[in-house]
């Protein structure tokens, strides 16, 4: 995780594009490592300041009566330095770096001015309450970080490597593809792989947010970071640790705050101009009235200028916006939704069209042979054997379902000249016969006569030596929450739901009707999906955004082309997950509406904070200029706005 700045998350009024979490230029000197916030350690100096400050207020008259008020200085100056040292040193460092106009500078000038006019209690109060505000902010940031960090705690510490009959503990980084590892009950699965022996209940909540364990058996793929709850598993490793799902997710979350939203960019630009204006306005308040107003008290106008400086400190504004988005990313992570940057949370608020891939996104992608229809003298057994043989080298779920239905060992030596035809199917020589297996488009491409083009379901047609041999129907089920997902999107204001699929029109129409989708595009090649999404983007209204949700490797170009690309992270391909802006770890389409809801809630809270801060600042600036607010009110106005903004920003993390 990036090192956080304790200065209101990099709360600097002049910090251009570097104005981010973790930038050292604007910190207050606190180091909290990976975002761990030690409340006891931070409270100790604050409590000491409170004691000195309280004693100073109680005995202020007596202390002030000492020679040259030395007693007053001996109590209040240590309290001032203890509470404000980080502000003073940060202001000095930033001035040396050419960054003058930030909140550290405002606080320093205001408090030194208060000391110069012998308002020591007010000077200490400014620094003390500012530090208390910081404590609240650090606690809130720590809470957001912990919610994200809990997602990262599924990083495995070791792997049980099986070699030459013995098992030894090694680092996951030392494991190679093809190695055999043992996972015992209660242990985390350290690397992605396939179960070769054993059966167990797996807790996938760390990756997916789902509390219900799932059963895994021989032949099932398993992901690093899931926890074995019941049985001993023997797993053949399929990916190096650095390429595993867990590593990719770690990287996604760690870099989630690097992409800034439009609101964050706006406030950075606003603060760049706001702070110098405030400084020069304060100078004008201090200098001009005594020059032009008869009988004006210079002391009084300097005091008003100091009040103006304290009130104008933009901390409540500057901290609450990144904190709000950080809370949004953290809150989404708690729900199994990984958002790669606050800019995507912002974009989700304008989504009017959601486009889904079908297989593995709206459907389970678990195919089973439902029907075998032989033609022209072939038997069912012959047709199934031919299909299994020609599909023997394919990793497609349909091919796997055919091989599973065949259930016998396939002699690879009988399959030659294997060729995959993208978007169509497969051609190969099987026992010296030219066999093709694929969709209806493939039959037309090869000019093979057949009697029915519109068979409902996912269909694999077969032909042998240019003669039609029959077809196999493969069944796929809708995901349990697919219908609810479409209804939830409508409630979130999504106007159009669309499905893209390479499957035939009959299947697409049935799925679209069952789910209540607005439209669908069927029989699409991979490039056809990109053309379809571009068409939908062109048709969408100005400022309305298009989301695409997919899971397969062929979805990566479409995910990249959409305004917001979403990938199913549990079963999705690496290419889709890496390309996506949002990763749904549960593979549940209902999470799409939840992501949009989180984006809207985050934006709402951020703008509430902006309006609150600007309104309160405006009122108190006017009161300060006209002498109706003292330095005490200025302090409470500044800290109060900051605290309200922090508490409000924390709501998005809780989902309230």
d(CA 287, CA 278): 14
pTM of the model: 0.64
Torsion of CA 569, 526, 483, 564, to 10 degrees: 60
- Order of strands across the sheet that contains 200-203: 214-216, 200-203, 227-228
The tokens describing 141, both together, are 């940031």
Instruction: Tell whether the model's pLDDT for residue 142 goes beyond 50.
Output: yes
Q: How far does Cα 143 stand from its chain's mean position?
A: 16
pLDDT of residue 259: 55
DSSP string spanning 509-577?
Answer: HHHHHHHT-SEEE-S--HHHHHHHHHHHHHHSPTT-EEEEEE-SGGGHHHHHHSSEEEEETTT--HHHH
pLDDT of residue 71: 92
> Which one is catalytic: 27, 102, 346, 357?
357
pLDDT of residue 27: 40
- Over the stretch 286-313, which tens digit does the pLDDT of each residue have? 899 888 888 888 888 888 888 787 777 6
d(CA 245, CA 154): 11
Most confident of 114-123, 128-137, 246-255: 114-123
Q: Tell me the backbone φ, ψ of residue 119, rounded to 5 degrees.
A: -110, 65
- Is the separation of the CB atoms in 568 and 550 below 8 Å? yes
pLDDT of residue 574: 62
pLDDT bucket at 335, cuts 50 / 70 / 90: confident
pLDDT > 70 in the chain, percent: 80
Beta pairing partners, 548: 355, 565
Greatest CA separation for the chain: 117
- Over the stretch 447-487, which tens digit does the pLDDT of each residue have? 888 887 777 777 899 999 989 999 998 877 888 899 999 99
Instruction: Tell whether the model's pLDDT for residue 267 goes beyond 70.
Output: no
- Is the separation of the CB atoms in 390 and 365 below 8 Å? no
Indicate if the alpha-carbon torsion angle 206, 209, 212, 218 is positive or negative.
negative
Name which of 183-192, 205-214, 518-527 the model is least confident about. Answer: 205-214
pLDDT of residue 7: 36
Name which of 205-209, 538-542, 577-581 the model is least confident about. Answer: 205-209
Instruction: Tell whether the model's pLDDT for residue 35 goes beyond 50.
Output: no
pLDDT > 90 in the chain, percent: 22
Q: Tell me the CA end-to-end span of the chain in Å, nearest whole number.
A: 26
Higher pLDDT, 515 or 458: 515
Concerning whether 157 is annotated as a catalytic residue, the answer is: no
Across the chain, mean pLDDT equals 79
d(CA 475, CA 494): 30
pLDDT bucket at 432, cuts 50 / 70 / 90: confident
- Over the stretch 385-413, which tens digit does the pLDDT of each residue have? 999 999 888 877 788 889 989 888 888 88
d(CA 223, CA 239): 10
Instruction: Tell whether the model's pLDDT for residue 143 goes beyond 90.
Output: no
pLDDT of residue 3: 33
Higher pLDDT, 5 or 435: 435
Beta pairing partners, 532: none
Q: What distances in angstroms separate CA 498 from CA 369, 373, 522, 530, 572, one per listed residue? A: 27, 32, 11, 14, 20
């Amino acid at each position: 995780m990036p090192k956080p700045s304790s200065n209101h998350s990099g709360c600097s009024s002049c910090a251009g594009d570097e104005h981010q979490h973790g930038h050292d230029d604007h910190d207050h000197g606190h180091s909290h490592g990976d975002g761990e916030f030690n409340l006891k350690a931070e409270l100790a100096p604050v409590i000491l300041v409170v004691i000195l400050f309280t004693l100073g207020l109680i005995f202020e008259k007596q202390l002030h009566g000492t020679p040259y008020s030395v007693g007053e200085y001996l109590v209040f100056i240590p309290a001032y330095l203890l509470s404000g040292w980080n502000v003073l040193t940060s202001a000095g460092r930033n001035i040396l770096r050419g960054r003058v106009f930030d909140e550290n500078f405002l606080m320093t000038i205001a408090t030194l001015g208060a000391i110069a006019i012998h308002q020591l209690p007010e000077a200490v109060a400014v620094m003390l309450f500012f530090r208390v505000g910081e404590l609240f902010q650090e606690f809130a940031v720590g809470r957001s970080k912990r919610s994200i960090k809990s997602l990262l705690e599924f990083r495995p510490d070791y792997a049980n490597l099986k070699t030459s009959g013995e098992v030894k503990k090694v680092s996951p980084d030392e494991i190679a593809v093809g190695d055999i590892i043992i996972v015992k009950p209660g242990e985390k699965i350290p690397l992605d792989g396939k179960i070769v022996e054993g059966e167990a209940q797996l807790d996938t909540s760390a990756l997916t947010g789902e509390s219900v364990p799932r059963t895994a058996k021989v032949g099932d793929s398993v992901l690093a970071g899931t926890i074995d709850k019941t049985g001993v598993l023997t797993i053949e490793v399929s990916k190096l640790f650095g390429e595993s799902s867990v590593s990719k997710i770690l990287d996604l979350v760690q870099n989630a705050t690097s992409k800034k939203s439009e609101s964050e960019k706006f406030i950075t630009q606003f603060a760049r101009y706001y702070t110098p204006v405030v400084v020069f306005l304060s100078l004008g308040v201090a200098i001009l009235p005594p020059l032009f107003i008869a009988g004006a008290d210079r002391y009084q106008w300097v005091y008003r200028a100091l009040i103006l400086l304290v009130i104008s400190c933009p901390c409540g504004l500057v901290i609450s916006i990144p904190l709000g988005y950080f809370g949004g990313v953290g809150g989404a992570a708690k729900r199994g939704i990984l958002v790669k940057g606050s800019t995507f949370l912002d974009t989700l608020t304008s989504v009017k069209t959601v486009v889904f891939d079908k297989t593995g996104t709206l459907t389970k992608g678990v195919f089973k042979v439902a029907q075998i229809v032989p033609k022209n003298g072939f038997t069912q057994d012959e047709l199934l054997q031919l299909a299994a043989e020609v599909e023997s080298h394919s990793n497609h779920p349909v091919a796997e379902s055919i091989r599973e239905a065949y259930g016998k060992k396939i002699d690879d030596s009988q399959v030659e000249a294997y060729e995959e035809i993208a978007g169509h199917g497969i051609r190969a020589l099987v026992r010296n016969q030219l066999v093709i297996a694929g969709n209806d488009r493939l039959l037309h491409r090869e000019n093979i006569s057949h009697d029915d083009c519109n068979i409902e379901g996912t269909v694999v047609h077969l032909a042998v030596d240019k003669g039609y041999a029959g077809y196999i129907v493969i069944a796929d089920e809708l995901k349990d929450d697919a219908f609810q997902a479409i209804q939830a999107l409508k409630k979130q204001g999504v106007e159009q739901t669309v499905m893209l699929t390479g499957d035939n029109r009959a299947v697409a129409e049935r799925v679209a009707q069952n789910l209540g989708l607005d439209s669908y595009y069927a029989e699409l090649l991979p490039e056809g999906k990109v053309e379809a999404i571009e068409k939908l983007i062109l048709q969408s209204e100005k400022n309305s955004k298009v989301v695409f949700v997919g899971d397969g490797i062929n979805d990566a170009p479409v995910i990249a082309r959409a305004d917001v690309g979403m990938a199913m992270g549990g079963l999705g391909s690496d290419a889709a997950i890496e390309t996506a802006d949002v990763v749904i770890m549960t593979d549940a389409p209902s999470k799409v509406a939840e992501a949009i809801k989180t984006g809207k809630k985050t934006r709402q809270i951020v703008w509430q904070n902006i309006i609150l801060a600007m309104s309160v600042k405006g009122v108190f600036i006017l009161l300060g200029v006209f002498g109706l607010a003292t330095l005490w009110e200025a302090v409470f106005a500044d800290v109060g706005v900051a605290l309200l903004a922090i508490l409000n920003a924390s709501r998005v993390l809780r989902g309230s």
